[in-house]
Structure formats: structure tokens, C-alpha cells
């Protein structure tokens, strides 16, 4: 059973990656801008005092410009930092993207070593990348489980972020998979029914 789920997930990863590779860069940029504007209109975003961002990979929806906007608006901003020794993410505050962010373990932007760690109950909103999402709150990651480990420990509203093309009918769940509370794309922001 577990092998069948993993095979289904890998096939879905391959399918979504193929679709993503066909989206032109200018279309990605425009869609990302629409998603950011939609998120800023949401009550959850407006009420959030602290937000965990992610540094998007080139093929992911780009939420990064909201980081500076959030800081300007007086929100506390955090990013995950990969700790190679534990093979897990820790979460750290970012006060300035210019001085507090560096290229990390996977070449992804993450907090510098001097950034203070965040207490587990201090996040209001957690923006979550995914290779694919479904409208039931299931998320398909890259297959290592790092984000599921993070989501299993941290508290706050979890919001999956993706292009419309990354929304699929159903993602099979494994015991370690964590459901999201809401989904954001360039055309929708929906609460997930529990």
C-alpha cells in the first residue's frame, strides 16, 4: 500500500513538473503578482502579526516581494533554515532581507547564522510551498518530508501557495503528511474544510 502511494506521488510530481516547465517566465511573474495581491486582501493576512515565508525556487510562485511589505507594515517575518546535522528546518526571525538572508544548504535563501530562532507558538501565518496541492488541504512536496516535519511542529494557520496549474484533484496521504488550512493561487484563496 505504502509503495503504491509513493509511486502515485512520484508520478504526480513528474506530471506537475512537466506542466510547470511549460509556463513562460512572464506568465509566472504576472500570476505571482496576482496571488500576492489576493493574499494581501485576505483577513488572515491582514490580522497576522507574524508570518513564516519561504524563499521560492525559480519554478515556484513568488511570494518574496511580500516579505519587505510585511516588514514595512510592522509584521514579524521569519524564514526556515535547514540544519544539516539534524536534517530538519528551524525557523528564525528576519529583520532585514539585505543583512539577514544568505544562500543556504540547498542554495535556497535562508536566515543568516546570527538570526534569532522563533518560539514554536509565535507564528500566526505559515506560507507553504508545494509541488502540487488539492482543495482538501493535501500537499505534495519534493519527497524528502522536510516541510512536513516543520508543519508537524509549528503552530499557526498554514497556507499552501501554488500556481493554478499545480492544483490537482487528489493527493494521496501518508501518515507523516500534514494537511493545510487554506490554499492560495493567483485566482483563489480558500479555506480548507476540516
CATH of the domain at 87: 3.40.50.10420
Q: What is the mean pLDDT of residues 79-93?
A: 91
Provide the number of structural domains found in the chain: 1
> Grid coordinates in use for 81?
533554515
Give this prediction's pTM: 0.94
Strand partners of residue 90: 81
Please tell me the distance from the alpha carbon of residue 58 to that of residue 36, in angstroms, as a whole number. 16
Please tell me the distance from the alpha carbon of residue 95 to that of residue 5, in angstroms, as a whole number. 41
Pairing, β 157-161 against β 125-129: parallel
Lowest mean pLDDT: which of 23-37, 48-62, 173-187? 173-187
Q: Using the predicted structure, report yes or no on whether residue 10 has a pLDDT greater than 80.
A: yes
Q: Using the predicted structure, report yes or no on whether residue 168 has a pLDDT greater than 80.
A: yes
Q: What is the pLDDT of residue 1?
A: 66
Q: What is the mean pLDDT of residues 135-159?
A: 86
Strand partners of residue 140: 132
Q: What is the mean pLDDT of residues 41-70?
A: 95
Question: Would you place residue 144 in the very low, low, confident or very high pLDDT band (cuts 50, 70, 90)?
Answer: confident
> Grid coordinates in use for 72?
514595512
For residue 87, the enclosing domain spans 2-191
* Among the listed residues 121, 124, 107, the one whose alpha carbon sits nearest the alpha carbon of residue 159: 124
Q: What is the mean pLDDT of the chain?
A: 92
Q: Using the predicted structure, report yes or no on whether residue 6 has a pLDDT greater than 90.
A: no
Q: Using the predicted structure, report yes or no on whether residue 145 has a pLDDT greater than 80.
A: no
Q: What is the pLDDT of residues 91-121, one digit of tens each?
A: 999 999 999 999 988 789 999 999 999 988 8
Amino acid at each position: 500500500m505504502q509503495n503504491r502511494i509513493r509511486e502515485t506521488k512520484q508520478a504526480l510530481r513528474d506530471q506537475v513538473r512537466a506542466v510547470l516547465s511549460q509556463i513562460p517566465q512572464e506568465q509566472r511573474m504576472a500570476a505571482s503578482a496576482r496571488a500576492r495581491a489576493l493574499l494581501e486582501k485576505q483577513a488572515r493576512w491582514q490580522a497576522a502579526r507574524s508570518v513564516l515565508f519561504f524563499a521560492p525556487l525559480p519554478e515556484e510562485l513568488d511570494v518574496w516581494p511580500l516579505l519587505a511589505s510585511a516588514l514595512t507594515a510592522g509584521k514579524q517575518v521569519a524564514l526556515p533554515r535547514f540544519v544539516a546535522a539534524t536534517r530538519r528546518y528551524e525557523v528564525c526571525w528576519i529583520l532585514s532581507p539585505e543583512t539577514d538572508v544568505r544562500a543556504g544548504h540547498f542554495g535556497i535563501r535562508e536566515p543568516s547564522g546570527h538570526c534569532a530562532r522563533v518560539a514554536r507558538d509565535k507564528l500566526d501565518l505559515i506560507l507553504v510551498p508545494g509541488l502540487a496541492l488539492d482543495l482538501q488541504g493535501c500537499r505534495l512536496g519534493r519527497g524528502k518530508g522536510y516541510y512536513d516535519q516543520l508543519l508537524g511542529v509549528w503552530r499557526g494557520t498554514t497556507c499552501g501557495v501554488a500556481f493554478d496549474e499545480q492544483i490537482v484533484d487528489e493527493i494521496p496521504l501518508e501518515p507523516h503528511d500534514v494537511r493545510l488550512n487554506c490554499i492560495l493561487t493567483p485566482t483563489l484563496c480558500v479555506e480548507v474544510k476540516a
